[in-house]
Amino acid sequence: MADETLYDTLLAEGLISNESFEKIKQKDANPLFSIHWEIKTLLYVGILLLTTGLGLLVYENIDSIGHVFVLLFIALISVGCFVYCFKYKLPFSTSKVNSPNTAFNYILLLAATSFVIFAGYLQYQYKVFGTHYGMATFVPMLVLFFIAYYFDQLGVLNMAIASLAVWMGVTVTPSDLLEKYDFNSTAIIYTYLGLGLVLIVKAIATNYFNFKKHFKFSYQHYGVHALYISLLAGYFHFYDFLYALLWLLGIGIVSFFLYKDAIKHHSFYFLLLMILYSYVAISSLVIRMLSPGYNTGAVGLIFMYFIISALGLVLLLIHFNKKLKQHDQL
């Protein structure tokens, strides 16, 4: 409405012609709309379909085309994409660096994906690292982290973090994981508890030293999930009540610091994670306290708890939503 009033004023004062005024009205009546996200989605889907199609082609024709040819083909795709990215990349900076063109990020993503496929195929078929499965995941992980920082690519950073999680899991139980499919629960719990702490520390350091500060969300996102899931797994795994309380105490400490960080940075997403994971922890404790007296009364109390707590959870989310909106930074 403000623009329409402005145009009417300009027309009345003779600063624009009737023809220009009509063109402006027609333009406002048929505004342009952005298809930015639609195009990005199609490009990502295209890369996914391309890599999937190549995998199926290799699987169906491996006997006729041979492993060496497949490896060379994948290597050529990766090298070609990397050559393009090195040629057109912008200078490195500790702050955010924008892509030189629209296709750059997708070509880089294809390069990184094909490299990971090449490394995995090489290990699977020729055992270049022997039975050192940790090295087979460690080397690609280092390369992915380098690519993510050097080219400033969040998609590759997410791949690198996932590779870090795989490397830590494979290093802890390589034979059980790959041969017997039998996880040592205690080792896995402590390993991914350590992973969560490493990622959270990395998120804090990234923000504190202002080095690729925009990577903080990815580190904190995966770190928070790894911490909460490992702490909950520890609580459920160790049945001794007093020992289990230590794991719940850990959840409380994580929730406190996550709450302070979410309020400071006005992040409803991390506030939501804190509330939901804390709710699961509290609910599991309530059920555990009521379940020994398994009778009609205990079941009724559990149902009442979930009804009342669910209502309280909704009201709490509404309250924090309003609190963050007061700062106009949701």
pLDDT tens digit string along 94-121?
999 988 987 898 899 889 988 998 888 8
Instruction: Decide if 3 is inside a domain.
Output: no
Instruction: Decide if 256 is inside a domain.
Output: yes
* End residue of a domain, out of 160, 183, 206: 183
Q: Is 77 a residue whose pLDDT tops 80? A: yes
The mean pLDDT of 43-67, rounded to a whole number, is: 71
Instruction: Decide if 155 is inside a domain.
Output: yes
Instruction: Decide if 12 is inside a domain.
Output: no
Q: What is the domain count for the chain?
A: 2
Residue 9: band (very low, low, confident or very high) from pLDDT cuts 50, 70, 90: confident
Q: Are 154 and 190 in a shared domain? A: no
Instruction: Decide if 2 is inside a domain.
Output: no
Q: Are 116 and 194 in a shared domain? A: no
Q: How far is CA 283 from the centre of its chain?
A: 27
Q: Within a 10 A sphere around the Cβ of 33, how many other Cβ atoms?
A: 6
Q: What is the pLDDT of residue 330?
A: 39
Q: Are 127 and 232 in a shared domain? A: no
Q: Are 193 and 269 in a shared domain? A: yes
Residues with Cβ within 8 Å of residue 275, at least 6 apart in sequence = 313, 316, 317, 320
* End residue of a domain, out of 153, 183, 213: 183
Q: Are 139 and 229 in a shared domain? A: no
Q: Are 207 and 179 in a shared domain? A: no
Q: Are 198 and 176 in a shared domain? A: no
What's the mean per-residue pLDDT of the chain?
A: 82
The pTM of this model reads 0.79
The mean pLDDT of 65-93, rounded to a whole number, is: 88
Q: Are 268 and 327 in a shared domain? A: yes
Q: Are 74 and 114 in contact (CB under 8 A)?
A: yes
* 122-145 residue pLDDT tens: 887 888 887 777 788 899 999 999
* Cα–Cα dist 47/113, whole Å: 9
């009342």: which residue's tokens?
308
Q: What is the pLDDT of residue 232?
A: 92
Q: What is the pLDDT of residue 329?
A: 44
- Low-confidence winner among 8-17, 66-75, 76-85, 146-155 (lowest mean pLDDT): 8-17
Going by C-alpha positions, the residue among 326, 212, 201, 213 that lies closest to residue 268 is 326
Q: Are 177 and 262 in a shared domain? A: no
Instruction: Decide if 246 is inside a domain.
Output: yes
* Cα–Cα dist 30/32, whole Å: 7
* End residue of a domain, out of 130, 158, 183: 183
Q: Are 270 and 327 in a shared domain? A: yes
CB-facing half-sphere around the CA of 234: CA atoms within 13 A: 24
Instruction: Decide if 311 is inside a domain.
Output: yes
Domain that holds residue 92: 35-183
Residue 15: band (very low, low, confident or very high) from pLDDT cuts 50, 70, 90: low
Instruction: Decide if 14 is inside a domain.
Output: no
Quote the percentage of the chain above a pLDDT of 90. 39
Q: Are 206 and 326 in a shared domain? A: yes
* Cα–Cα dist 155/60, whole Å: 29
* Cα–Cα dist 179/32, whole Å: 57
The mean pLDDT of 60-85, rounded to a whole number, is: 82
